[in-house]
Structure 1
Amino acid sequence: MKLLVLALDGVFDTGLAAVLDTLGTANELAALQQLDVPPFDVQVIGLRRRVHTALGFGVPVQPLRGDEQPDWIVVPAIGTKMPEALCAALDRRDVQQAAAWLRDGHAGGARIASACIGSFVLAESGLLAGQDATTSWWLGPLFRQRYPEVRLDESRMLVPSGSFVTSGAALGHMDLALWLVRQASPELAAVTAKYLIVDHRASQAPYVIPDHLAHADPLVGRFERWARARLHEGFSLDDAAAALATSKRTLQRRIEAVLGKSPLSYVQDLRVERALHLLRTTRDDIERIATQVGYADGVTLRALLRRKLGRGVRELRSVPVQESASPSPAARRR
């Protein structure tokens, strides 16, 4: 399998290294395990003769050539993590050149994989129009605003769609690289994951901070604060709209446009966040926690946790608290 890894100036150090190390480890293990898997032929290419990572390290790159016929083009993230700076970076000449080159590569038969903010670079090409995709969870609102024709689900870690595959934030690069290995050999992917001590992560949902997403829009932010203060109550869209001095239709449309989900689904996210915090910081049983987050019984909450996080109550209680799964300081004061 021939892969071209596109390193743009300011490439995310961890992302580029994760892709290259995973594929390199897979090559070593294929030989060690005597697996009948052709080696991954990996080349790092660049649009500039000199490419530096976000931390300033030089990246040895091969120049682009017109005769390249890779199986996959891989687009790691650029190391620009916040919306305002990212918008400026996407307007750079080399990023726009990369988007044009991706269109040419895809027209020549290459499939394209992107990770984290690399999905923005791929979306700039227009190739993701009408496709399913994911990206860094905190940039979902910006992605929807900039590329409304892409079906985004930032809760997912990996999204194959047609001749494309996108992955989630930061260490989603490793999930992406393992997915590529799995296309050649599921056995090799499994042993590579064990050597690298990588667990299967089907979702970004356990890492999402709901109020961080809500701050992308003033009305959605106000709705988030209103909902948090009433998590122990039943949810009513009528009550929310009246409290926020807007119409139900406006509130529904704004939340769906910014967050890609209904108001009720977002309230469920807030309830999951609060329930997860209580599971890991108190000895309350699931029935008591359910009443604190607006449910009449623990059965409903158990089902919601399983659906949103992919784990049961016992598993969630035994896992160390992820920083991103903890409520914000503002939430703790409520």
Structure 2
Amino acid sequence: MRLMVLALDGVFDTGLTVFLDMFSTANELAAAQGIATPPFEIALVGVRPQIRTALGLTASVELADAVRKPDWVVVPALNTKQPERLVEALGRPDVLDAMAQLRRWQAGGIGVAAACIGTFLLAEAGLLAGLEATTTWSHAPLFRQRYPDVRLDDGRMIVPAGRIVTAGAAMGHLDLALWLMRQASPEMAAVVARFMLVDRRPSQAQYVIPNHLAHADPLVERFERWARANLAAGFSLQEAAKALAVGPRTLQRRTEAVIGKSPLAFFQDMRVERAQHLISIGQDLEAVTTEVGYADSATLRTLLRRRLGRGVRELRAEMQL
């Protein structure tokens, strides 16, 4: 498999090096198994001859249009954690040139992959219109607002859509590298994952911080504060809307538009987050159950297992490590 990693100024250092390290490790392990030809050919390319990473490191890169046609081009994230900085970055001349190059590659049949904020470049270039995609959960509200024609599923870690594949937040770069590796050799991908201690993470939903998402919109932020104050009482859309002085439909539409969830689903997220915290610090399960508004602990156990993939015992054990 031939891969190009498209690096731009301000690239997220970890995301960039994850790809290089994962495929370098695969080639080393292949050689150790007696495979003479490296299974992966990887090139670091850009639209300028040199890049400067977010941490200030400089690297020379090959010009994108001078490299032999790859099977896939990969776009790692820019290190822009604030929405306003991300929007500014999307208008940079080098980023605009990169998006034009991505359109040419995609039109030529080359697979296009991106992780975390790198997915914004694909969407901005128009490559994701009408397709399913994922992105970093922390910028999902901005993504929904900016690209309403993309079917965003920010709960998933990897979303393939034909010859385009997107991955979730920061360490989603690892998951994307393994996904690409599996297309050439599932066996090698499994070996590399074990060698580098990479777990399978089909969902990024368990890592979401609800109040971070809520800050993307004033009404949703007010709803988040109301919900936290009323976890024990349980959820009522009518009561929430009344407390916020809006209609139930307005609240429903706003939460779905901003965070992609109904008010009830967002309320459930906050219940899980609060229960996870209380259990991890050793609180009695029955007391936790009451505090987050459930009638019996069995229901809470089921919810935690379904949402987090871990039960009460595992949550408590994790905090003792």
TM-score above 0.5, yes or no = yes
Answering whether residue 145 of structure 2 is matched by residue 145 of structure 1, we say yes
Aligned to 2:54: 54
- The residue that corresponds to 1:312 in the other structure is 311
Structure 2 length normalisation: TM-score? 0.95
How far off its partner does 1:192 sit? 0.7
Map of 1:186 onto structure 2: 186
Aligned-partner residue type, residue 302 of structure 2: A
Distance 1:100 1:39 in 2: 29
1:168 aligns to 2:168 (yes or no): yes
2:158/2:165 contact within 8 Å kept: yes
Correspondence for 1:91: 91
How far apart in 1 are the matches of 2:319 and 2:159? Answer: 27
Distance 1:266 1:283 in 2: 23
Structure 1 gap ranges (5+):
323-334
* Structure-1 residue corresponding to 2:135: 135
SS at structure 2 position matched to 1:114: strand
Closer/same/farther in 2, CA of residues 48 and 214 from structure 1, 3 Å limit: same
- Name 2:232's counterpart in structure 1: 232
| Corresponding residue number in structure 2 for 1:291 | 290
Matched AA of 2:289: A
1:281 is aligned to: 281
Question: Given that residues 123 and 129 in structure 1 are in contact (C-alpha distance below 8 angstroms), is that contact kept between their aligned partners in structure 2?
Answer: yes
Q: CA deviation at 1:283?
A: 3.7
CA contact (8 A) 2:31 2:38 kept: no
Q: Structure 1 residues 67, 31: closer, same or farther in 2, change over 3 A?
A: closer
Q: Summarize the Cα distance change of 1:298–1:82 in structure 2 as closer, same or farther, 3 Å threshold.
A: same
Q: Is the 8 A contact 2:255 2:263 kept in 1?
A: yes
Do the aligned residues in 2 keep the contact of 1:69 with 1:108 (CA within 8 Å)? no
- One-letter amino acid of the counterpart of residue 310, structure 1: G
Answering whether residue 262 of structure 2 is matched by residue 262 of structure 1, we say yes
1:14 correspondence with 2:10: no
Q: Which moved more, 1:312-321 or 1:163-172?
A: 312-321
Q: Report the Cα distance in structure 2 between the residues aligned to 1:59 and 1:223, rounded to whole angstroms.
A: 46
Correspondence for 2:216: 216
Q: What is aligned with 2:73? A: 73
Aligned length: 321
Task: Please give the secondary structure, in 2, of the residue aligned with 1:4.
Answer: strand
SS for the counterpart of 1:44 is: strand
**Counterpart residue type for residue 148 of structure 2:** P
Offset, 1:131: 1.5
Are the aligned partners of 2:282 and 2:316 in contact in 1 as well (CA < 8 Å)? no
User: What displacement does 1:306 show?
Assistant: 2.2
Distance 1:169 1:150 in 2: 17
1:39 deviates by 1.5
Q: Give the aligned CA root-mean-square deviation in angstroms.
A: 1.8
Query: What CA deviation, in whole Å up to 9, does each residue of 1:174-228 have, x standing for no partner?
Result: 1111111111122211111122122222222232110010011000000000000
What is the match of residue 155 of structure 2? 155
Q: Give the CA deviation at 1:37.
A: 8.1
- How far 1:38 sits from its partner (Å)? 5.4
Gaps of 5+ in 2: none
Q: Distance in 2 between matches of 1:212 and 1:200?
A: 25
TM-score norm. by structure 1 comes to: 0.92
Alignment of 1:92-111 (within 5 A): 92-111=92-111
Q: Does the Cα contact within 8 Å between 1:119 and 1:135 map onto a contact in 2?
A: yes
Who is 2:300 aligned against? Answer: 301
User: Deviations for 1:288-329, whole angstroms, at most 9, x for unmatched residues?
Assistant: 32221111112222222222222233222222399xxxxxxx
CA shift for structure 1 position 173:
0.9
User: Percent identity of the aligned residues?
Assistant: 62
Q: Give, as a single letter, the amino acid of the residue that structure 2 aligns with 1:226.
A: W
Q: Which residue of 2 aligns with 1:207?
A: 207
Quote the Cα distance in structure 2 between the aligned partners of 1:272 and 1:10: 35
SS at match of 1:235: coil
Q: Find the aligned partners of 1:36 and 1:129 in 2 and give their Cα distance.
A: 41
Distance in 1, matches of 2:15 and 2:247, equals 43
